[in-house]
């Protein structure tokens, strides 16, 4: 695995989204799924990465399940 690829993901437009989850822990955000997906066009990429690297959902939380990982 290339660490450059990982850095590009973390420092790209997914990084602010991920940082928000770490800080807010899903409790302080009132953004709904449609607004979140519109604001962050790379959400489908994040969902694909989550499915690939966390298939059993060990690192999921209620906010991720509600706002991002829904169909």
Q: Is the pTM of this model over 0.75?
A: no
User: For residue range 21-39, what is the model confidence (pLDDT) as tens digits?
Assistant: 554 444 556 677 888 888 8
pLDDT at 36: 80
Higher-confidence position of 39 and 16: 39
Which of 61, 70, 56 is closest to 23 using CA atoms? Answer: 61
**Do 45 and 10 meet the contact criterion of CB atoms below 8 Å apart?**
no
pLDDT at 39: 83
């Amino acid at each position: 695995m290339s660490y450059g690829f990982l850095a590009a993901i973390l420092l790209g437009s997914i990084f602010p989204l991920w940082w928000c989850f770490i800080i807010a822990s899903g409790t302080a955000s009132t953004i709904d799924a449609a607004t979140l997906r519109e604001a962050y066009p790379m959400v489908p990429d994040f969902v694909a990465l989550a499915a690939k690297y966390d298939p059993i959902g060990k690192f999921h939380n209620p906010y991720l399940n509600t706002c991002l990982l829904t169909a």
